[in-house]
């Protein structure tokens, strides 16, 4: 977060049309070309090394985000082939390596603080586990993520990892994070750094796989293209939209929500109105405060920072915000409740032969078979075996997840208060 409590955005957005190719190139090469447009701090060879290392942990480093065709005009961009089986790996493997680079250059430790509704925490932990000079504190809502998601965070056996289960919702955890980052004296004293999608590097890293997806499409599937994105905190779909602003052709970005449908209501009725969080079958999307909407609002208001700041001040106060004539081009939205998630998993399996996790299942709502469509698959179905079994009588497994079942979880439980978390950080953080 910026010192005034806002979120950073790039000063300018570069043109990326040179990265649009008739066929895909190796992923680390594409990521290097993209980040060269933003990074004037590292020499080219260092950027190349960072990108190669950050994607070496994926099953196929050359193509870590394969595009799978499941119907004439429907494709699935599989983003779950990284070390923690979720799309967050794309941003957080890079963030972990950048933190390591920063620590080696400055000699200063970092205490990484984040909140997770499921997948961010495990991806951040995997990206930083065992790295010298870094400690990782991840807050998550107790009892509101899947058992396997929790085990991914609590069974690492790494001494620098501190998972914290709080008695509250993800939004409570996120609010604690923002309050601690807003205390500039404590932020400086604790050498705090962020891993949530308020960290702009996360968003930029996710831009790359949209370009990679586009480059995998045949020429006749690139016109009138829709991207459908399971959405909670608005970071993943913001990355796609930013990529379009930089020159990648795309007609529409579909915000696919679960029953916690803040963003569906926003893009359908122009009203930003947080409600209580409902515990759904797609727990990583159980969010009612979409942090990255602030960045989109900044662009929507054509860079009017003062107006953005005033609206976000009212949002943070819990007010309902009416945005008249809010009908942004390139956006639409869908909503899927728990019954719909189960139905979509079942129908997609039976009709298309594809097994989707509960979050990706939200993106199969109201797909037009005549429109070229790329659905972003955000997590491996094996992370949610109970829901999959309920829908299709299958229990998908993955060797990595199965290995976690034999390990002893290690975490800390705290009340959902800023003071409790601050005290815990003071006791366990690296000082320097």
Catalytic residues, which ones?
88
How buried is 74 (Cβ within 10 angstroms: 0-12 exposed, 13-18 middle, 19+ buried)? buried
How buried is 283 (Cβ within 10 angstroms: 0-12 exposed, 13-18 middle, 19+ buried)? buried
How buried is 395 (Cβ within 10 angstroms: 0-12 exposed, 13-18 middle, 19+ buried)? exposed
Count the residues in the chain: 432
| Owner of token pair 């939205």 | 333
Q: Find residue 136's DSSP bridge partners.
A: 112, 161
Quick one: angle between helices 200-216 and 27-36, nearest 10? Answer: 130
CA-based nearest residue to 297, from 255, 238, 226, 229: 238
What letter does residue 270 receive in the DSSP assignment? S
- Tokens standing for 365? 């709502």
Q: What is the rounded distance in angstroms from the CA atom of residue 148 to the CA atom of residue 146?
A: 5
Return the SS3 of 367. coil
């Amino acid at each position: 977060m910026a010192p005034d409590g806002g979120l950073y955005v790039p000063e300018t957005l570069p043109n990326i049309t040179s990265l649009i190719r008739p066929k895909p190139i190796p992923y680390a090469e594409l990521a290097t070309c993209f980040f060269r447009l933003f990074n004037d701090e590292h020499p080219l060879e260092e950027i190349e090394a960072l990108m190669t290392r950050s994607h070496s942990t994926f099953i196929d480093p050359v193509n870590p985000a394969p595009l799978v065709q499941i119907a004439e005009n429907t494709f699935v961009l599989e983003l779950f082939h990284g070390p923690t089986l979720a799309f967050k790996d794309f941003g957080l493997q890079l963030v972990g390596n950048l933190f390591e680079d920063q620590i080696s250059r400055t000699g200063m430790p970092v205490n990484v603080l984040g909140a997770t509704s499921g997948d961010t925490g495990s991806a951040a932990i995997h990206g930083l586990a065992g790295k010298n000079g870094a400690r990782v504190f991840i807050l998550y809502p107790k009892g509101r993520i899947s058992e396997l998601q929790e085990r991914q965070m609590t069974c690492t056996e790494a001494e620098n990892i501190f998972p914290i289960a709080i008695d509250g919702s993800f939004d409570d955890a996120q609010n604690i994070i923002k309050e601690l980052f807003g205390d500039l004296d404590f932020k400086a004293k604790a050498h705090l750094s962020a891993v949530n999608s308020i960290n702009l590097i996360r968003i930029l890293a996710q831009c790359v796989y949209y370009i990679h997806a586009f480059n995998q499409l045949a020429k006749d599937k690139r016109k009138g293209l829709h991207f459908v994105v399971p959405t909670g905190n608005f970071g993943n779909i913001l990355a796609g939209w930013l990529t379009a602003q930089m020159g990648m052709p795309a007609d529409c970005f579909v915000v696919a929500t679960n029953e916690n449908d803040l963003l569906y209501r926003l893009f359908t009725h122009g009203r930003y109105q947080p409600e209580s969080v409902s515990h759904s079958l797609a727990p990583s999307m159980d969010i009612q405060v979409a942090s990255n909407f602030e960045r989109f609002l900044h662009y929507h208001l054509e860079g009017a920072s003062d107006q953005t700041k005033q609206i976000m001040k009212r949002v943070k106060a819990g007010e309902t915000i009416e945005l008249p004539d809010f009908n942004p081009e390139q956006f639409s939205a869908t909503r899927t409740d728990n019954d719909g998630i189960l139905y979509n998993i079942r129908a997609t399996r039976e009709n298309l032969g594809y097994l989707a996790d509960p979050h990706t299942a939200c993106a199969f709502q109201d797909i037009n078979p005549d429109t070229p469509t790329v659905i972003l698959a955000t997590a491996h179905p094996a992370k949610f075996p109970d829901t999959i079994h309920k829908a299709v009588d299958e229990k998908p497994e993955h060797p990595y997840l199965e290995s976690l079942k034999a390990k002893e979880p290690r975490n800390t439980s705290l009340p959902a208060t800023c003071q409790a978390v601050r005290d815990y950080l003071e006791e366990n953080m690296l000082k320097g």
